Chain A
Amino acid sequence: AQSVTQLGSHVSVSEGALVLLRCNYSSSVPPYLFWYVQYPNQGLQLLLKYTSAATLVKGINGFEAEFKKSETSFHLTKPSAHMSDAAEYFCAVSDGTGGGNKLTFGTGTQLKVEL
Chain B
Amino acid sequence: DVKVTQSSRYLVKRTGEKVFLECVQDMDHENMFWYRQDPGLGLRLIYFSYDVKMKEKGDIPEGYSVSREKKERFSLILESASTNQTSMYLCATKKLGSTDTQYFGPGTRLTVL
Contacts and interface: CB of A to CB of B under 8 A. Distances in A.
Contact of A101 (B42, B51, B97, B103): B97
Residues of A contacting B: mostly:
loop
A105 B43 contact: yes
A96 B41 CA distance: 23
Given A32-B98, A94-B98, A106-B42, A43 B31 contact: no
A43 B102 contact: no
Contacts of B106: 41-43
Interface string A30-51: 0010101000011111100101
Interface of B: 4, 31, 33, 35, 40-45, 48-51, 54, 56, 58, 90, 92, 94, 97-107
Chain A, interface size category, equals: 20 to 34
Contacts of B58: 102
Interface of A: 9, 32, 34, 36, 41-46, 49, 51, 90, 94, 96-97, 99-108
